Amino acid sequence: MAVKMPQRNGKNRISQILRFGLFWAIIIFVALIFYATLFPASNLKDVALSDVVRRANDGKIAQLEIQGNDIKITPKDQSKPTEHSVKESSSIYEQGLNKDAKVEVKVIPPSTTGETMWNLAVMVVPVLIIVVFFMFMMRQAQGQNNQAMGFGKSKARLYGQDKEKVLFTDIAGNDNAKQDLQEVVDFLKHPKKYKDLGAKIPKGVLLVGNPGTGKTMLARAVAGEAGVPFFSISGSEFVEMFVGVGASRVRDLFSKAKKNAPCIIFIDEIDAVGRKRGSGMGGGHDEREQTLNQILVEMDGFDGETNVIVLAATNRADVLDPALLRPGRFDRRVTITLPERKDREAILKVHFKKKPTDETVDLDKLAAKTAGSSGADLANMANEAAIIAARRNKKKISNDELTEAFERVAIGPERKTKIMNDHEKELTAYHEAGHAIVGHVLPDSDPVHKVTIIPRGGTGGVTWFLPPEDKSYTNVYEFKDILARAMGGRIAEQLIYGDDGITTGAGSDLRKATEIARDMVIEQGMGKGLRDQVFHEDNGGLMFDKMTRERPYSDETAKMIDEEVAQLITEAKHRAMLVLKENRSFLDKLAEALLKEETLEESEVDEILKGTKLPKEAKLHS
Ligand code: ADP
């Protein structure tokens, strides 16, 4: 069923081409007939009239066929005319032909076909031009009409079942999600089994997970496994400038789907239309609400016989309107988490399946380094590695390309062309050394993985910490060490160049540190005075919502939050200062090594920093 539509489209195109061809063939044919009639081809030899008259008087010509002023001449030894001449006056005898010459003179009344054709042409051609012009205009107008009519049509893409079929086996990891969705496959395949027992088949399943975790792939795999058509549309595609368009698109999509049942409708980014309905100010808002209402109406309208299941994806389930999540709508939820180490390895294997690699490539090691990466990130890394290898004219991908691809995806490409003067280079070296030493010395920080003063992405240099294993939770000590090491760069600059020697190089560190500190206080209940309290603010709403909604805490609490955040940052700065002062000589050593080598790996950093000490005052616990 699914491949029908494209076929129909194909047929339409062929018949269009045929009609177009036929139209021009007729035009050319008519033109040729006109031409042939008006300018008849003649292969007769032109001869002078005086010559004709002389030869006729001599008896050398059998017949003269006269039509108007044209004379066709048949010489004595010929059976049909071979020559042609033109007479000037009305009678051939006046031109000198003897009355008794032995020649047959045949006078044919002048033809009016040419003239008629001319007259006809003068009448028909303009009419023809006008008709063609109108046909052209009509078609144009019809096209526009179609466009206008199609405005309310959904732009859902229908995927065929054979060519682009995705199966669960194409998706690495995500075992829990696959298990949950297997049930949906069963509903689609054997609806009767459930109906016989009086069970209602669910109408909507919400796939919740970070971007790139494979939600779209999973939805397609459900369709692939069940062998049903798959309509895919993004939430944002419903909404246009005009109110009502979204709703009509929803109607269109559901009616298409019902015709193709059993089938899957996949709405990506449902939060684009399914956010909590709020103040109702602003046109876009109304449009969103109407679209959302229409989705609800359509889902409620499914009767027991309609075997259409709507899968919707979002990474912000918390901002969705509760009406969407009520029983009978999106009442099932499948959570898709970021892949764990073994899943990351499996995903990498899937994406390296068709890429030749040499023996230096260790996907398990890469999987270990890529905690927090989504499936899409890993797919991107695999692709980058192949691109880098191809650019280096290699036949196989090696570990070098893999490492570069990983770093590129994680922090952006190296910018070797960015020119830094010697002072900036030195400052960067001290800055990064500051981060590295604080991170290295503090007990609850992840180890340093790499330090570089080659600009990458938007930064001057990078100090990179990687957890030795996947972690699900972060404790207060770990957060505080992250804050301290983030401040390490600025503090190192301060130690070396004085209080006024600090630069903008630490801007992003400070921003990140403040974000983490706020998150600790507001979302994680990790403040000192505000311990175990959470002040969650939904920041997903539109501007009008934000303006009209009250903060869920008092002004005093807001002040306390600010104070808590400031305290955390001050403490982090203090600890970073203690660590760097205690290990001042190592700061010079590491900065020097960085200036020389530009990039230092984990083992090299460990070697240089052997002998660093954790000052007692910087300790948070025993
Ligand atoms: P989402 O819809 O969650 O944003 P997609 O389904 O579009 O993510 O995934 C993007 C790409 O990431 C896929 O095309 C695929 O190449 C890759 N990918 C994500 N997860 C997996 C997985 N578990 N196994 C294999 N590839 C994956």
Q: Ligand 1 centroid to 218 CA: how many Å?
A: 8
Is 376 touching ligand 1 by the criterion CB < 6 Å? yes
Question: Residues 541-567: what's their mean pLDDT?
Answer: 77
How many angstroms does the Cα of residue 216 sit away from the middle of ligand 1?
Answer: 7
Q: Is 383 in the pocket of ligand 1 (CB under 6 A)?
A: no
Whether 424 sits among the annotated catalytic residues: the reply is no
Query: Does the reported pTM lie above 0.85?
Result: no
Q: Whose CA is nearest to atom 15 of ligand 1?
A: 376
71 lines ligand 1 (CB under 6 A): no
Averaged pLDDT for residues 413-439: 88
* Ligand 1 proximity of 217 Cβ (cutoff 6 Å): yes
Q: Residue 336 has which token pair?
A: 């898709």
- For residue 239, how far is its CA from the centre of ligand 1 (angstroms)? 25
Cβ–Cβ contacts within 10 Å for residue 186, how many?
15
Amino acid 7: pLDDT:
40
Does 437 sit in the ligand 1 pocket, CB within 6 Å?
Answer: no
pLDDT at 302: 74
Task: Tell me the C-alpha distance between 495 and 324, whole Å.
Answer: 56
Q: Residue 51 and residue 91: Cα distance in Å, rounded?
A: 16
Counting from 1 in the atom list of ligand 1, the atom nearest the Cα of 173 is 23
Q: Is 431 annotated as a binding residue?
A: yes
Q: What is the mean pLDDT of residues 3-7?
A: 35
Could you identify the atom of ligand 1 that is nearest to the CA of residue 313? 2
When pLDDT is cut at 50, 70 and 90, the band that residue 1 belongs to is very low
Indicate if ligand 1 lies below 6 Å from the C-beta of 372.
no
Q: Ligand 1: does its nearest atom lie under 6 Å from the Cβ of 375?
A: yes
Question: Binding residue per annotation — 212?
Answer: yes
| SS3 at position 106 | strand
Q: Tell me: the pLDDT tens digits for 265-274? A: 999 988 888 8
DSSP state of 445: S
Which tokens go with 480? 């505080």
The Å distance, Cα 379 to ligand 1 centre, comes to: 8
Work out the percent of the chain whose per-residue pLDDT is above 70.
86
Closest CA to 456 of 422, 504, 417: 417
Nearest CA to 428 out of 458, 457, 452, 456 is that of 452
Asked if residue 599 belongs to a known ligand binding site, the reply is no
CATH of domain 341-410: 1.10.8.60
| Average pLDDT across the chain, whole number | 83
What is the pLDDT, as a whole number, of residue 2?
A: 31
Question: How many A from CA of 178 to the centre of ligand 1?
Answer: 14
Residue having the nearest C-alpha atom to atom 7 of ligand 1:
216
What is the per-residue pLDDT for 571? 96
Q: Judge whether 503 is annotated as a binding position.
A: no
Centre of ligand 1 from the C-alpha of residue 271, in Å: 19
Q: Is 578 in the pocket of ligand 1 (CB under 6 A)?
A: no
Does residue 574 have a known ligand-binding role? Answer: no
pLDDT, tens digit, 9 for 90 and up, residues 329-371: 888 899 998 898 889 999 999 999 889 999 999 998 888 888 8
* Range with the poorest average pLDDT among 152-166, 286-300, 525-539, 544-558: 152-166
Ligand 1 near 156 CB (within 6 A) = no
Q: Of 27-41, 224-238, 432-446, 603-617, which gets the smallest average pLDDT?
A: 27-41
The reported pLDDT for the residue numbered 344 is 92
State how far the Cα of 579 lies from the Cα of 434, in Å rounded to an integer. Answer: 9
**pLDDT for residue 4 is more than 70:** no
Mean pLDDT over 44-65 rounds to 84
CA of 172 to the centre of ligand 1 (A): 9
| pLDDT of 202 higher than 90 | no
Residue 463 CA to residue 452 CA, distance in Å, equals: 6
Enter the DSSP assignment of 282.
S
In 3D space, the residue among 230, 226, 189 whose CA is nearest the CA of residue 5 turns out to be: 230
Of all protein residues, whose CA lies closest to atom 18 belonging to ligand 1?
375
Reported confidence tier of residue 576, pLDDT bands at 50, 70, 90: very high
Asked if the model's pLDDT at residue 434 lies above 90, the reply is yes
* Band (390; pLDDT cuts 50, 70, 90): very high
Please identify which residue in the block is written with the tokens 């890529």.
370
- Residue 184 CA, distance from chain mean position: 27
Using the atom order of ligand 1, give the atom closest to the CA of residue 213.
3
Neighbouring residues of 83: CB distance < 8 A, sequence distance ≥ 6: 44, 45, 46, 47, 52, 72, 73, 75
Query: Which of 181, 217, 343, when mutated, tests ligand 1's pocket best, judged by the most ligand atoms within 8 Å of its CB?
Result: 217
**Centroid of ligand 1 to alpha carbon of 468 (angstroms):** 25
The CATH class for the domain spanning 45-110 reads alpha beta
Q: Is the CB of residue 211 below 6 angstroms from any atom belonging to ligand 1?
A: yes
Task: Work out whether strand 462-465 and strand 448-452 pair parallel, antiparallel, or are unpaired.
Answer: antiparallel
Q: Using CA atoms, how far apart are residues 85 and 53, in angstroms rounded to an integer?
A: 11
Taking CA atoms, 612 is separated from 388, 489, 491, 582, in Å, by 38, 17, 17, 8
With a cut of 70, say whether residue 38 has pLDDT above it. no
Give the position, in ligand 1's atom list, of the atom nearest the Cα of 217: 6
Query: How many CB atoms lie under 10 A from the CB of residue 114?
Result: 13
Half-sphere exposure of 108 (CA within 13 A, CB side): 11
Segment 205-226 shows an average pLDDT of 91
209: annotated binding-site residue?
yes
pLDDT at 158: 65
Same fold, 45-110 and 341-410: no
Q: Which atom of ligand 1 is nearest to the CA of 336?
A: 3
Q: Which fold has domain 422-618?
A: Methane Monooxygenase Hydroxylase; Chain G, domain 1 (1.20.58)
Average pLDDT of the residues in 504-509: 88
Q: What is the pLDDT of residue 550?
A: 63
Closest CA to 601 of 458, 400, 438, 464: 464
Residue 532 CB neighbours (<10 A): 8
In CATH, the architecture of 157-336 is 3-Layer(aba) Sandwich (3.40)
Residue written as tokens 């499948």? 334
Is 334 near ligand 1, meaning CB less than 6 Å away? no
Distance 604 CA to ligand 1 centre (A): 36
**Rounded mean pLDDT, 94-100:** 78
Is the CB of 350 inside a 6 Å radius of any atom of ligand 1? yes
At 283 the pLDDT is: 47
What does residue 329 show for φ and ψ, rounded to 5 degrees? -115, -125
pLDDT at 121 (0 to 100):
77
> What is the average per-residue pLDDT within 479-501?
94
Closest C-alpha residue for ligand 1 atom 4: 212
Residue 219: CB within 6 Å of ligand 1? no
pLDDT grade for 435, boundaries at 50, 70 and 90: very high
CA gap 220, 214 in Å, rounded: 10
3-state secondary structure (DSSP) of residue 320: strand
Edge-to-edge strands, sheet with 448-452: 462-465, 448-452, 599-601
Q: What is the 3-state secondary structure (H, E, C) of 136-186?
A: HHHHHHHHHHHHHHHCCCCCCEEECCCCCCCCHHHCCCCHHHHHHHHHHHH
Q: How confident is the model over 277-326, as pLDDT tens digits?
A: 664 454 456 777 888 888 888 888 777 667 888 999 998 888 888 888 88
Give distance in angstroms: CA of 257 to centre of ligand 1. Answer: 25
Is residue 382 within 8 Å of 369, Cβ to Cβ? no
Q: Which atom of ligand 1 is nearest to the CA of 346?
A: 24
Ligand 1 nearest atom to the CA of residue 214, by list position: 6
Whether 347 contacts 375, CB under 8 Å: yes
Q: Which one of 225, 289, 432, 571 is the catalytic residue? A: 432
If you take atom 27 of ligand 1, which residue's CA is the nearest one? Answer: 375
Domain boundaries, given as residue ranges, for the chain = 45-110, 157-336, 341-410, 422-618
Of the chain, the end-to-end C-alpha distance in Å amounts to: 68
Asked if 334 and 205 touch (Cβ cutoff 8 Å), the reply is: yes
Facing residues of 601 across strands? Answer: 450
Any ligand 1 atom below 6 A from CB of 248? no
